[in-house]
Every structure is written in C-alpha cells, then in structure tokens.
Structure 1
Amino acid sequence: MVTGSRLAELMLRGPTTNHVVCFGRDGAERRCGELIVAAAGVEARLREQDGERWALNLGDGFELTAALLGCWAARRTPVLVPPTLLATLDRATLDGVIEHSADATAAARRIVWQTVEASARPLGELAPNASLELYTSGSTGVPKKAGRRLANIENELAALESVWGARLGTARVLSTVSHRHVYGFLFRILWPLLERRPFAIFDYEYPEQLLGSGGRGNVLVSSPAMLKRVGHLPPGSGQWSAVFSSGGFLPADAAADVSRVLGVAATEILGSTETSGVAWRTAGSPSFELLPSVEVRVSSDELLEVRSPFAGVDGWQAMGDRVHFRADGTFELSGRADRIAKIEDKRVSLSEIERRLVEHHYVKDAAAVALEASARQYVGAVVELTQAGRAALEQRGRAAMNSALRSALRGRIEAVALPRAFRYTHAMPVDAQGKRQVAVLAALFDSGSV
C-alpha cells in the first residue's frame, strides 16, 4: 500500500530530471519541466476563480494532465466526464470548465486552454486528500458519479506496476480509448506518468494505425470495440510488447486475431468506474486473477461483490456479474445478471433472449431491447451476423432471416418474448468504451419497419 504520494514527489523533482513525459502525432516530445510550468499556469488561473468542481474538457493528453495537476495544486476537484455527458450536468454539479475551445460549452465559468500561460512560480503541493470525480453513463445514458482520492489512485497504480512493470519496462504507451474514463485515465495517462513511460497525447482511431514501427515494442491501451476490427490485417504486422483491453469481453475470434496480427495475446482488465480495476486474464483464458489487495465474494444471489482500496468508497460493491470460484483462487464469470423487462404484463429476461440468439450459427452478437408502440410493449433485437449469416441475409432477404431467428427461439422462450422487430448491423453499436447504450439501440427501431 502506498503511504506517501509518489505523484507529489515526481512534481517536486520533475524540473531537475526533466524526462520525456509524452509525445504528439509528429513525434514531438514534451518534458516534465514543461508539464509542471503548464500545471502551475492552470493553478494560477484557478486561484483567480471561485468554484470547487472543474470539468476537464480536454482531448489532448498533455493538456489534460497539466489541468489535472493544476486543479489539485489549487485545492480544487477535477471532474472527468465524457463530452456526451458534459452538457447533461447542471451548474449545481459543476462550478466551471477547463476546455480547449471558447464555445465548446455554455459553462458559467470557463478557462480556455489557449489563454493559460506557463508560470515560473513553483507548482503548489498536491494535498494528500486531493480527490477526483468521474462520471459514467452505464447503459442508461444518465450520468452517475464515482469519486476517488489520490491515495486510491496511487494504490491502484502501484498494484498495476507490481503485476506488469517488469514486462513493460520503458516502453511507450499508445491508446485507442478516451482518457476521460477511468480505464483510459489510469492506463494511458497516470500510470505511464508515474513510471516515466512516455505516453501519446492523441488517440489511435483506425486498426491500420496499429501496424508498423509505431507499435513495435510498445504498449497499447485499447478495447474490444477496436480490437474486434484487426482481423483483416496481415499476420505479424504489429509487434506490441503488451495489449490491454477493457470495457467489455473480447470474443474468442477477436482474441485470436489480436495474437496473430499484433504479435501478443491481449490482457483483459475487469473493472468498472465504481470499483476501478478488479482482476485480469490473458485473452482466451476462462478465469480471472485478482489484482493485488482486491477482495471478492459471492452475494446471496450469486453475483460478484468487490471490496478494494482502489475504489472511492469503503465496503462491498456489487458488480452485477454471475461468478464461479475455482479452487486456485481465480474465478470465472457466467454472464451478467438478468435484465428483466415487463412485456404485456409478463416478466421477460432480455439476457436470456440474447443468450439464445447467439447460439444460432448466423448470430455473432445480439442485444435485446424493450420497446413500445401504440401503447403496446414488445421486444426488438439488434443482431450482428456471422459471415454465414451475412451471406444468408444477402441471398434470402430480411424477412426470411427474421423468420429463421424467430423459429430458432420458438419453444425456448415464451411467445411474448419473441422479438417482433430485428435490426442487422455490421458491428454492434457501442460507445467509446465499448459499452452498449440502451437509447442508441432503441433508436435503431425508430423507422418502424421490421
């Protein structure tokens, strides 16, 4: 367990070591001394302003890091929130925004990054009780807050380093995920910062960018949303030293593609915004191994519960995953807890519909959604087809595919639960963190056709 702030120590010693902290698309490097004077500039601006909670609406990793440190030095609370949720937070939640553009939001108080001047004054000390707020939408789109203390964050970073530090060495860190979520914030920003691994201030957006010399010997922080798209690339064309994935489970075929194309098996991280990191496994393995200092147990309804020094709350937290423990202390997940919807006064398991659909050889992935039209409730299914399924859809048409899938479900689920409408997609719609959003899935049915 961490007893003193290593990050605070790094900020004090940074001007003397002045090591490389990060780099841009053009390869230009930024050093620790630059980061500290930029953070001091943010601190100076904040001390001229009222307000405790400041959202960091910055897509550049260097700017985000400097703003974070400036907030902590000014004794303010930085808030990380995805841009899609920022507009939904009212002024009672946020006191101000630090952002790159003057017209990005309608915040009452705003600091525009371009107006921040580097300060020659020493950066203020980071308080031991410094805190951070994160917001997540889960699957509902409604913002939900999770808090962290600096001590929670540094405990987790120490655990990550104890597991993977020797393997990563001095590798550079690149990413396809946002740093405005807890996984990206820790794995692509603060962990590299603390261990002096230079990190990219930009995102990789396309699978083709994962090839070539940019990845050789370096670390990739990614998600299933990106890693499921590498299968068409040439074998062995990327030689990464480590690939991390979080935000959802990596399908077996995608895991095989990662090993074949990127040259290393992906490491899957299990966690949530509320719990932070919980466990990990090598993609392809059925069982998860706990991160150091994390405790888990099974609740009375067989769901995974977690207690962790990385979370911002004491006590046990439920994760909503069904779990089976093995004799060696590892555990396997057996699916999410059932999502229940009321359809025509009957309780219908959306999870069960999804499980039954993916058993069909035409279906690669499926999402069931409770819908309503003309005061009548029904189930819709969003389906990502396999290669065989896509061929059948093209040859036989949508009506025949709908009929085939309903026939496969008939007799295995109640009649009222049979999907009345289907939508076929090339890839399951997910957000930047690989999460399904109910509103986005439901919107696919707005046209009214089946």
Structure 2
Amino acid sequence: MTQRMCEWLSAGRADEHLVAWSESREWCQRDFRHDVLSLLTHISATSHSRWALCLEDNYSFAVALLAVLYSGHTPVLPGHFRPAVLAGQRDEFDALITDLPLQIDCPILRFPFSADQPLTALPEWPENAVLILFTSGSTGKSQKIIKPVSCLELESQWLCTHWGEQCADARFVATVAPHHMYGLSFAFMLPLTLGRPFAAKRVEYHEQLHSLARENALVLTSSPAFLKRLDMALEPANLRHVFSAGGPLSHDTALRVENICGCRPTEIYGTTESGIVAFRTQHQPEAAWTLFDNLEFSPLADGNIALISPLIPQPDGMILSDKIQLLNADQRQFLLLGRKDRIVKIAEQRISLTEIEQRLCAMDLLSDASVLTLEKQGRLYVAAVLVLSQVGEQLFQVQGQAVLLGQIRGILRDWLSPVSMPRYWRFAPAIPLNQQGKRATAELQEMFL
C-alpha cells in the first residue's frame, strides 16, 4: 500500500513497522514519529523559516525533512556540504540542521538531539509545501529550484506503478545522497511511499553491498561511477533491482551489473528541474529511452524539443540540455546524443566549454580534463583542470610544468581564439565526482581559490 508524505507518520503503519536500519540499530514507526516530534519542538521554538539540511545519515535526513515541513517552514537541500558552497548559498537559508562538524555563520541544530518535552501531536500537514534544491552546476553556477512536495508525490506514484510490485518485499540501499533530485526520488521518496525500509548509511564499496544482500532482498539506487567500479572478482550480490542515473551506462557496464547483481539495471533520465523523464533497460547496445506516461515531447520551430510534464510549472514545456533524436511517430522513444555545448560569453565572444574540453582530451599528454569558468574581480575567465596521461606525466617530470603547459597552449592555439584559451590551470590525479557520480563542480571551483 502506497502512502503520500502526509501519511508517512500516521497510524496507518503499525508502531513496529520498520522504517530504517544500520549495522548497529533499527528504527521503527514509533521511533520515527517520536524523533520528528522532538525535532519539531526545537524548530518551533525559533523564528527561522528556511532550514538547510546537511546530514550524512539518511534516517536523520528523513526526520529533519519531515520536521521542517510539519513546522510550516521550507527545507533547503544545498546539494554539497563543502564550506565554500554553503558560504556561497548563505543567502538561501536562515538556519542549519546537521550531523557534521560544520562551522557556518548561522544558527545550527545538531544531531543527535533530544527534547525534554516533545510535542505529542503533529500539526496539520501544510498546504502547498515546497522544498528547495540546487542543480548540479555541471554547466555553470548551481541554480535554485523550488520543488512542490505534490510533484515529488506524483512522481513517486509513477515509480510505484512501474516498479512498486517488484520492490514490495525488498529493502532499499543507495550509493547516492537524498540531497539531489535523483537520490531524493529513488532513495528517499520511493521507499517511504512504499513503506519499505531504507539503509541509514550510504553504500560506498562493493563489499558492503555483498554483505547487505546476504541478509535481505535489496533494491539499489546508484550511479554509473559506482557501477563501473563493481569488481567481477568478488562474489556476486544478488539484488532485486538496480536503478542508475546521472549519465548513460555503457552496454558493457550494464552487462557487468547483470553478472554481478543478478539483474540488468534500469537507467533513469531526468533533471533537477524536470524530475523523471524517461527510462531504459539495455537489452542491446544504445537502447532507446522511453518517456514516462503523462509526459510528451513537443518539437519546436527552432529545432529544439520541449518536454511537457505535470512535474514542471511551464505550460509550454521546458527545453532539455541534451540533444535528443526522436525515433517514432508517437515521439515516445528517443536516443540521447550527448549534452548541448556549454556556451559562455566572454568579451562579446561565444565560447564553447565543451569544445575546449574535447580539444584537451584529444591530446596524448592528457587522459582527462574539465573546463569551467571563474569570476575574478568582476571578469569571467576560462579555467581547466587536467589529468595527465603517462606521456604527459613523463614530460612533466623531465621538463617541468612550464614546458608542459606551453605545449598544451601551443596545440590549443590552432583551434581556439585568445579569449577562449584557459587562463588558469590545475593538475589533479582524477576529475573529482560528487555522490551522484557527476563532476563535482564545487570541488573543481575550490581548486582555484
């Protein structure tokens, strides 16, 4: 039986109903309700209206999110817990709830906590409840997104229609955090809507996954970055279902997941702004994506394609940032052809960050690169983080950084205008990824502070 968010703490679920678990303890419905009421007591004693949630523990996140919503206030999900990111978003929240040793210039409530006299009854569920998320920032500065709870609930109902029966007696584990849209929908909303237990701690290693799967049927919410690292040499971990999002899986990786986890992964395509858009299971290479029911594409005169969805506020739809090739007359199946170029304007010139990245990655001196923009003293500059190949590493060791960068600049001059040339450079052993398996824009930005 599925339940809306306003029903998660109701008497419709028995006091002994298992909500979450970790290696050391379990939390049942009675604990869940008590903990929300206790935190609600603390929140109600303040005048703060926007609460940032920076919680590594998934059960604590669930408690905090519900407590803030029941208080009639707004949860803010920063997406990253790095001090520089939080400082940059400081105008977006009034107070902070955390289980980390963060030092931020604002009032802070820290887990674990207790209330001497917690409230005994929940307030009325707020009408028109919303929460605030931020985009990943992979194409620039993170953008604030106001997400109605009603949209999250509708999305969960769609997911339950597709996979609820398959997940009905399983527990949920995740390698991704609920502070981003994908983790929020699949690792948080879906298990609580279905009334299925979720793991309080994120899975970080293949060995953890195998250990958990020995004890319970599991649904895994993960990312391509984690699934690519699954070790074929380890004993298989038979799972009930695997979800993946954050980027397309290669067909080889999809087969690898099936061999290790006992099921071929379901890939999800969506964005923070749009919510879920489409899904696929790769039974052959480059399998097509299928739109979820109640969604449709609308081709536009300029060649773009608008997504029409009940999950977005724009009645005329929104333009997705990926290139899409429609495959059939009903426009419900399509191929993803990669992201549209990231275009920035510097000194009146349109500059493609994607092109600069591609030029760098084509060099035998480099194995990977990430290009971004930096604002310094009111001016915008191009910057690059480089991962050296074996050839590049040898040149660096023998002739030094200046000679290496000189060769890289020389190659780029054949392709790029002077304004497009990266002004700032950093070297890294690998391009950092966030918990969703995407490039960690905030961490990349911090390399240039």
With structure 2 as the length reference, what TM-score do the two structures score?
0.80
Query: Counterpart in 2 of 1:6?
Result: 4
Amino acid at match of 2:21: F
Name the CA distance, whole Å, in 1 between partners of 2:307 and 2:187. Answer: 24
Q: In 2 relative to 1, CA 378–158 (structure 1 residues): closer, same or farther, beyond 3 Å?
A: closer
Query: Counterpart in 2 of 1:432?
Result: 435
Unaligned segments of structure 1, at least 5 residues: none
Moved more, 8-17 or 176-185: 8-17
Report deviation, 1:223: 1.2
Equivalent residues of 2:173, 2:187 under 8 A apart: yes
Q: How does 1:316-355 map onto structure 2 within 5 Å?
A: 316-327=317-328, 329-340=332-343, 347-355=350-358
Query: Counterpart in 2 of 1:367?
Result: 370
Name the CA distance, whole Å, in 1 between partners of 2:366 and 2:8. Answer: 51
Amino acid at match of 1:242: H
Equivalent residues of 1:99, 1:112 under 8 A apart: yes
Q: In 2 relative to 1, CA 405–143 (structure 1 residues): closer, same or farther, beyond 3 Å?
A: closer
Name the CA distance, whole Å, in 2 between partners of 1:420 and 1:98. Answer: 39
Report deviation, 1:299: 4.0
Moved more, 107-116 or 355-364: 355-364
Query: Counterpart in 2 of 1:220?
Result: 220
* Residue 319 of structure 2 is aligned to residue 310 of structure 1: no
Report deviation, 1:93: 2.8
Equivalent residues of 2:168, 2:194 under 8 A apart: no
Equivalent residues of 1:22, 1:29 under 8 A apart: yes
Q: In 2 relative to 1, CA 371–5 (structure 1 residues): closer, same or farther, beyond 3 Å?
A: closer
Deviations 1:337-389 (A, max 9, x none): 1123568986553323545666789987553456899x99777573586xxxx
Q: In 2 relative to 1, CA 35–429 (structure 1 residues): closer, same or farther, beyond 3 Å?
A: same
Name the CA distance, whole Å, in 1 between partners of 2:417 and 2:168. Answer: 57
Q: CA RMSD in A?
A: 3.9
Name the CA distance, whole Å, in 2 between partners of 1:152 and 1:377. Answer: 38
Deviations 1:201-244 (A, max 9, x none): 111122332334536631111112222222x4426522222111
Report deviation, 1:289: 1.1
Unaligned segments of structure 2, at least 5 residues: none
Equivalent residues of 2:56, 2:100 under 8 A apart: no
Q: How does 1:36-435 map onto structure 2 within 5 Å?
A: 36-82=33-79, 83-84=81-82, 85-90=85-90, 92-100=91-99, 104-108=103-107, 110=109, 113-116=112-115, 119=118, 121-139=120-138, 142-214=141-213, 217-230=217-230, 232-234=231-233, 237-283=236-282, 284-311=285-312, 315-327=316-328, 329-340=332-343, 347-355=350-358, 366-369=369-372, 380=384, 382-383=386-387, 413=415, 427-435=430-438
Deviations 1:79-101 (A, max 9, x none): 222323333223x5323222236
Equivalent residues of 1:224, 1:247 under 8 A apart: yes
Q: In 2 relative to 1, CA 376–369 (structure 1 residues): closer, same or farther, beyond 3 Å?
A: closer
Report deviation, 1:186: 1.9
- Name the SS for the 2:47 alignment partner: coil
Name the CA distance, whole Å, in 2 between partners of 1:129 and 1:273. Answer: 19
- Name the SS for the 1:97 alignment partner: strand
Amino acid at match of 1:10: W
Amino acid at match of 1:208: E
Name the CA distance, whole Å, in 2 between partners of 1:371 and 1:144. Answer: 16
Report deviation, 1:418: 8.5
Equivalent residues of 1:269, 1:279 under 8 A apart: yes
Deviations 1:1-60 (A, max 9, x none): xxx97232332225635311110133x221112111211122222222212211222222
- Name the SS for the 2:170 alignment partner: coil
- Name the SS for the 2:8 alignment partner: helix
Amino acid at match of 2:191: P
Q: In 2 relative to 1, CA 379–144 (structure 1 residues): closer, same or farther, beyond 3 Å?
A: closer
Q: In 2 relative to 1, CA 235–312 (structure 1 residues): closer, same or farther, beyond 3 Å?
A: farther
Amino acid at match of 2:432: P
Name the CA distance, whole Å, in 2 between partners of 1:56 and 1:289. Answer: 34
Equivalent residues of 2:373, 2:381 under 8 A apart: yes
Equivalent residues of 1:61, 1:200 under 8 A apart: yes
Report deviation, 1:254: 3.3
Q: In 2 relative to 1, CA 157–395 (structure 1 residues): closer, same or farther, beyond 3 Å?
A: same
Amino acid at match of 2:52: A
Name the CA distance, whole Å, in 2 between partners of 1:205 and 1:233. Answer: 17
Equivalent residues of 1:289, 1:331 under 8 A apart: yes
Equivalent residues of 2:155, 2:311 under 8 A apart: yes
Name the CA distance, whole Å, in 1 between partners of 2:381 and 2:46. Answer: 51
Name the CA distance, whole Å, in 2 between partners of 1:96 and 1:434. Answer: 28
Give the fraction of aligned pairs with identical amino acids, expressed as a percent. Answer: 31
Report deviation, 1:151: 1.3
- Name the SS for the 2:166 alignment partner: helix
Name the CA distance, whole Å, in 2 between partners of 1:440 and 1:404. Answer: 27
Amino acid at match of 1:281: R
